Amino acid sequence: MRNIAVLQGLTFAASLCIALPALSQDTGTLKKIKDSGAATMGVRESSGGLSFTTGDGKFAGFHVELCQRALADVQKQLGLARLDIKYQPVTSQNRIPLTQNGTVDIECGSTTNNAARQKDVAFAVTTYVEEVRIAVKANSGITSIAQLNGRNVATTTGTTSVQLLRKHERATGVDFKEVFGKDHADSFLLLESGRADAFVMDGQILAGNIAKSKNPADFKIVGEVLAVEPIAIMLRKDDPAFKKAVDDSLKALIKSGEMAKIYDKWFMQPIPPANKPIGLPASEATKAAWANPNDKPAEDYAKK
């Protein structure tokens, strides 16, 4: 669920060309990290509480911290005196090629684990489950998607939510009047100014926008979950030793209860740059993923 620019598309095409020949050269990420004493973490500039920049080339977020913990465990496992972590910003378009060609060893952003991507890369156990939800004005009385029949529904151009709404209309016969914002802030403004009665988007983005609004109490997230997507840390394919190391580290965090604490830190406590909390408690789906660590693709979630 991302916005895309033309240039990024070109970068993607260019990086594909670089990626292909390099595919088979790597002989295990653990060996590479041991030999070089360094690991490269792929991070996002702005993926809500999961992965974001705090300026000056520094990155933080729920997935960034999980990766830092996992790499610390890897360092211990390898018996390295020190391990340099390099941060490499990636985009939706180049993250897979950069992981494949070895530029990035571990991608800690907001990548959906789906069947198509599993052909190219591997995923660690799911650590966050994104739910597509509906945000409305608190006083609107809207509590479910069925009530949006004939109403204006905002979503952001260039995201999969647009297609999701269209599918939903077809399946249920509900007729929305879609209004497209050019970015998430614009879509939220449509809701705020009353041009739209609802804003359909990833729960995390909705919660973040509500937290940043002038009066967060005026808005609420309601209704059924429209779609579910497992978000996971992305790794190179066919590297079971490294995947096991990362998975074991994540499972240990879940077992000790640290996972829930780290989640709380990034989604419930105030975070930079605005020092406001996102205010999104861990969903049942996220808790279920923690209770039963797995790397199932999104398609398996849709079947339920």
Partner 1 sequence: MNWDWQVFCKDTIDGNMVPRCFGGAGDITYLDWLLSAWGWTISVSLLALLVALVLGSIMGILRTAPHRGLVLLGNAWTELFRNIPLLVQIFLWYHVVPALIPPLRGVPSFLLVVLGLGLFTSARISEQVRAGIQSLTGGQRMAGLAMGFTLPQTYRYVLLPMAFRIVIPPLTSESMNIVKNSAVAFAVSISELTLFALQAQEETSRGIEIYLAVTGLYFITAFAINRVLHFVEQRVRVPGMIGGGG
Binding site for partner 1 (CB under 8 A): 2-4, 6, 9, 12-13, 157-160, 162-163, 166-167, 170, 178-182, 186, 189, 193-195
Q: How far is the CB of 189 from partner 1 (least distance, A)?
A: 6
Cβ-defined contacts of 10-13 (< 8 Å, 24+): 11/91, 11/93, 11/94, 12/93, 12/94, 12/97
48: left (phi over 0), alpha (psi -120 to 50) or beta: left
Q: How far is the CB of 177 from partner 1 (least distance, A)?
A: 10
Q: Which is nearer to partner 1, 186 or 264 (CB)?
A: 186
Q: How far is the CB of 142 from partner 1 (least distance, A)?
A: 19
Q: Which is nearer to partner 1, 181 or 203 (CB)?
A: 181
Q: Which is nearer to partner 1, 159 or 249 (CB)?
A: 159
Q: Which residues of 175-184 are buried (b: 16+ CB within 10 A; e: fewer)?
A: ebeebbbeeb
Q: Which residues pair with 62 in a beta bridge?
A: none
- 232 with 113: CB under 8 angstroms? yes
Q: How far is the CB of 236 from partner 1 (least distance, A)?
A: 21
How long a stretch of residues is the chain? 304
DSSP for residue 86: E
Q: How far is the CB of 6 from partner 1 (least distance, A)?
A: 6
Q: Which is nearer to partner 1, 9 or 272 (CB)?
A: 9
Q: How far is the CB of 21 from partner 1 (least distance, A)?
A: 16
Q: Which amino acid is at 105?
A: D
CB neighbour list of residue 90: distance below 8 Å, 6 or more residues apart:
42, 43, 44, 98, 104, 107, 109
Q: Which is nearer to partner 1, 37 or 194 (CB)?
A: 194
CA pair distance 180, 122, nearest whole angstrom:
34
Q: Which is nearer to partner 1, 2 or 137 (CB)?
A: 2
Q: Which is nearer to partner 1, 135 or 250 (CB)?
A: 135
Q: Which is nearer to partner 1, 46 or 160 (CB)?
A: 160
CA pair distance 110, 47, nearest whole angstrom:
6
Q: How far is the CB of 151 from partner 1 (least distance, A)?
A: 15
Unique residue bearing structure tokens 């211990």? 76
Q: How far is the CB of 138 from partner 1 (least distance, A)?
A: 20
CA pair distance 248, 241, nearest whole angstrom:
11
